[in-house]
Structure 1
Amino acid sequence: MDTSSPQSDDFPSILKGKRILLTTESLGPVNGVSRTTSNLIEYLRRNGVDLVVVAPQFQHQPAPSPSPSDNDIRLPGYPLPYNPDLTLVYPFHLQSIYSPTLPPDLIYIASPASLGFQTLLQTRQLHSPPPILLNYQTDLTSYSSVIFPAPLAHFATWLLSTVEGYLFLHPSIHIIFYPCTAVLTYLKTTTTNPTTTLLPKAHRLARGVNTTLFHPSHRSPSLRALLSPKNEGFILLTVCRLAPEKGFEFLASIAQRLLASKIPFKLVIVGGNRNPDVETSIRRLFDPVKDHVIFLGFLTGEDLARAYASADLFLHCSITETFGLVVLEAMASGVPVIARDAGGPSDIVRNQETGYLVPPDEEGVFAALVAEVCRDERLRGRLAVRARAYAEEMTWENIHRRVAGRMADALVEREGDLSSETALLEGNGRGSGSGWSVLEKVRLGVAVGVVHLMWLVAVVPLIVHGERIVSRILRRIPLVGKLVSRGRS
């Protein structure tokens, strides 16, 4: 996003100059959370917000991050063995990310995990924490079913649900954004009384798309000629990280079915994995159809936009996505989508209007629809036009305006309580800017101790057995799609 763009006329004036602390688990690697958060950071800074961004340290950044600020903070951590792009932040003290004598006016937590959970746990120990907006973008429980064997997967799911239920229901949380219906259904299970506690705070927030960058005009005849030198058939596209939970076993089966039915095609896969063993194992799934499959690796910016627009059909086979930004980017590029009917894409794709939704385990139905759309040029064109029209309504500006509005609401409520809160603090012998009390410091110390304990119980074993876990994941890749599907049912 161009940071030189003028400020938005309808940006809430109450936010200008306010100190906002934004934490995110991913900033730099190419994924939906990172791109979503990067756009929000640029939007807030462009409109005069005093923003401090806290994120894990990431050494091998494949794409430009948002314009950095001197106040930005990177915390050390441990890269996940099966996906080095994601880092578990080591235990830290709240004072490492903001001063007790100059607290933020508001906290925004994107996709809470190791960083977000620690921030929430410690912030709730304060007598008067700033209001918090939480964007729940990643369903961690779905990944647990892939990483761990059955007994540990059930324990991990229970543990995550318990921790999230405890942290998310604190009064300091003003709102919880969720990306799709499936995530809201999960969030309801994190508490025994969701009707009176969680639901009033829950607010659906879709993701936006850059409709200028991702546009049908970027269709490239030269790229199509490179991908299919002899005009050998339809170009089918998939964009996602090469990882077990992304549905590649399902996609490989679809490719084999299309080949058996004599559909001429080239399957183009955009994405990669920083762990070469994982990437190699994914590629091997396509050995039976290797002459019809092209791996392009990571693409960003205009290269990615050309790849989208140059395709005839976009295939989305993951069932672990809480939103599916790539689906929206494909639609903005004027490419119809066929997706498995699970998670975020179920709320994006309008069945039979902008593409098709297929029951998650129906490989035959999926392959038949791909063949039908490929063969029927008029149908493909009609779906493409409607897909683009839908995406034009989902601009980043519209999405970020909604976030800014909720931030403004939180500050208005906060300022409404400021007089009585200040009087209470002065009555207790300290002003609002005099730092944390002795009791708060003790509570924070205990909270940090709890984090250390959780690391010993839940994280250190993952680190110690990291390579073993990766090896087991590689062996299970042909079964992952079925395991994830079973865990969702």
Structure 2
Amino acid sequence: MRIALFTEVFLPKIDGVVTRVVRTLEQLGELGHEVLVFAPGDPPAEYAGHEVVRVRSFSLRFLYPELKVGVPTPAIARRMESFHPHVVHTVNPIWLSAYGVLSAGRRDLPLLASFHTDVPQYTESLRVGWARHPIESWTQFLHNKAEVNLCTSGPMVDRARQVGIERVELWPKAVDTVAYHPATWSGGMRATLTDGHPHAPLVAYVGRMSREKGLDRLVEVMQRLRERVPGARLAMVGSGPYLEDLKKRFDPGHTVFTGYLSGTDLAAAYASADVFAFPSVTETLGLVALESMASGVPVVGARAGGIPFVIDDGGTGFLVDAEDVGGWVDRLTLLLTDTGRRAAMAVAARAEAERHSWRAATEALVGYYEQAVETHWREHRPLNGPFLDRFAKPMPRATD
């Protein structure tokens, strides 16, 4: 199968959406499928054997400097036509992927869209709340052009339907249980994360340092935690537009900011912590929580968004109401001081992670591609009308 994939984010940027896209590309290649990727920024020319088309883009420096906004060009249309995909997949359609939606419609191609980031909700934390309703309407319009819409967690399936998105299905969660493993624990990494105090109790966070992640909540939590667990330390792994602000807020004597880590260093950082703290309320899934669980480290996470879809409260970790500082302190204290409870949760977390492979999730995705193709052509209506007659360039069904 040939798949044209439009994404708003891609390498070298690192986040949960990019991780899912690149792992999916790897699996699609192994399964014998061909993908043509359209991505903004400065992506590699190919990934896992698939061609990546670099799309001209600009940065939203005033709002989110890491985000590159792709600008549609005629070259995209020409490349789409020469590739002649069986299906178009748009990841988080807002701008570049929105062009993918419109391009698929113009060419009468089957369309699948995936909803990874609740952008309308993010507008509040990014202080542009006035844009929430227009973005919500735009998101609904784009997704409802697709034959199939996918979400990566049960709660986000509900959220998508709440904003008016139709034909919604679940794209199963997945995690790399080979790269992320308890065996990657490292004494050297533990020393790094604790600033030379490897025997101190260690709480870790891994992910973007951005305002919408709610990391400010951990400032008071860690202050109060040290009153009950003297010497407790926090490792903040990652980077982002809110990094410098966070450095000013946390106690520098008990907090380490590592910047971005990847590969074996990132795996070691996960496995070398005692517990993972995840206060974000805007997650559609929370892949980092799954990666922590695969590393044998239980998670204390906010009872919001997709996090309850990942954590079995009391089994593989704990769920806490986001603003309940006392609840966070209680759960973190328990896991840092009760080594037996922590060890039992670590085993359960690893076992749960092992149930979710990238191969199984990608095979499910291929099934949804086939569903989108069959639905499109079964319910096919030829493009017609004065507007479409002038601008449409319908392509025949790809059969090879």
Q: Is the shorter-chain TM-score for this pair beyond 0.5, marking a shared fold?
A: yes
> Does structure 2 conserve the Cα–Cα contact (< 8 Å) formed by 1:94 and 1:119?
no
- Pairing partner for 2:105 from 121, 124, 135: 124
Distance 1:210 1:95, change over 3 A: closer
Deviation string for 1:219-271 (max 9, x for gaps)?
A: 11232234443444211110011111111210111111112334332211100
Relative CO higher for 1 or 2, CA cutoff 8 Å, sep ≥ 6? 1
The equivalent residue for 1:204 is 170
Q: CA deviation at 1:90?
A: 2.1
Q: CA deviation at 1:46?
A: 2.4
The whole-number CA distance in structure 2 between the counterparts of 1:346 and 1:181 is 9
Q: Percent identity?
A: 26
Distance 1:346 1:99, change over 3 A: closer
The whole-number CA distance in structure 1 between the counterparts of 2:38 and 2:277 is 34
- Which amino acid is 1:19 matched to? R
- Which amino acid is 1:394 matched to? H
The equivalent residue for 2:9 is 26
The equivalent residue for 2:185 is 219
The equivalent residue for 1:141 is 120
Deviation string for 1:345-399 (max 9, x for gaps)?
A: 1111000000100011101111111011111111001110100010000111111
- Which amino acid is 1:31 matched to? D
- Which amino acid is 2:243 matched to? E
- Which amino acid is 2:136 matched to? S
The whole-number CA distance in structure 2 between the counterparts of 1:246 and 1:413 is 38
The equivalent residue for 1:108 is 89
Distance 1:89 1:101, change over 3 A: closer
> Does structure 2 conserve the Cα–Cα contact (< 8 Å) formed by 1:243 and 1:279?
yes
Distance 1:302 1:95, change over 3 A: closer
The equivalent residue for 1:254 is 221
Distance 1:158 1:230, change over 3 A: closer
> Does structure 1 conserve the Cα–Cα contact (< 8 Å) formed by 2:93 and 2:143?
no
Distance 1:233 1:83, change over 3 A: same
- Which amino acid is 1:177 matched to? L
User: Does residue 280 of the first structure (1) align with residue 255 of the second (2)?
Assistant: no
Partner of 2:147, secondary structure, is: strand
Q: CA deviation at 1:34?
A: 0.5
The whole-number CA distance in structure 2 between the counterparts of 1:102 and 1:372 is 56
User: Does residue 349 of the first structure (1) align with residue 329 of the second (2)?
Assistant: no
The equivalent residue for 1:179 is 152
Moved more, 264-273 or 88-97: 88-97
User: Does residue 376 of the first structure (1) align with residue 338 of the second (2)?
Assistant: yes
- Which amino acid is 1:386 matched to? A
The whole-number CA distance in structure 1 between the counterparts of 2:330 and 2:280 is 18
The equivalent residue for 1:466 is none
Q: CA deviation at 1:95?
A: 5.1
The whole-number CA distance in structure 2 between the counterparts of 1:221 and 1:263 is 21
User: Does residue 89 of the first structure (1) align with residue 62 of the second (2)?
Assistant: no
Aligned-pair RMSD on alpha carbons? 2.6
Deviation string for 1:277-315 (max 9, x for gaps)?
A: x321121110xx211111111011111110111111011
The equivalent residue for 2:355 is 393
Q: CA deviation at 1:187?
A: 2.0
Distance 1:439 1:159, change over 3 A: closer
- Which amino acid is 1:164 matched to? T
Deviation string for 1:158-204 (max 9, x for gaps)?
A: 1112112222223xx2211112344233322333xx7xxx1xx2112
The whole-number CA distance in structure 2 between the counterparts of 1:137 and 1:32 is 9
- Which amino acid is 1:169 matched to? N
In the superposition, the TM-score normalised over structure 2's length comes to: 0.90
- Pairing partner for 1:160 from 135, 150, 154: 135
Q: Which residues of 2 match residues 288-367 of structure 1 at below 5 A? A: 289-367=251-329
- Which amino acid is 1:20 matched to? I
Partner of 1:397, secondary structure, is: helix
- Which amino acid is 1:378 matched to? G
Larger Rg: 1
The whole-number CA distance in structure 1 between the counterparts of 2:294 and 2:82 is 46
**4+ residue segments displaced more than 6 Å:** none
Deviation string for 1:29-85 (max 9, x for gaps)?
A: 1100001001111211222222211111227x8xx973364x431111111214333
- Pairing partner for 1:240 from 191, 197, 207: 207
- Which amino acid is 1:243 matched to? S
- Pairing partner for 2:55 from 72, 75, 86: 75
Deviation string for 1:426-451 (max 9, x for gaps)?
A: xx9xxxxxxxx995473469xxxxxx
Q: Going by fraction, where is helix more abundant, 1 or 2?
A: 1
> Does structure 1 conserve the Cα–Cα contact (< 8 Å) formed by 2:205 and 2:235?
yes
The whole-number CA distance in structure 2 between the counterparts of 1:234 and 1:215 is 20
> Does structure 1 conserve the Cα–Cα contact (< 8 Å) formed by 2:193 and 2:269?
no
Partner of 1:124, secondary structure, is: helix
- Which amino acid is 2:264 matched to? E
> Does structure 2 conserve the Cα–Cα contact (< 8 Å) formed by 1:232 and 1:265?
no
Number of matched pairs:
390
Partner of 1:142, secondary structure, is: helix
> Does structure 1 conserve the Cα–Cα contact (< 8 Å) formed by 2:301 and 2:320?
yes
Partner of 2:140, secondary structure, is: helix
Partner of 1:36, secondary structure, is: helix
Q: CA deviation at 1:122?
A: 3.9
Distance 1:32 1:95, change over 3 A: closer
Distance 1:319 1:311, change over 3 A: same
In the superposition, the TM-score normalised over structure 1's length comes to: 0.74
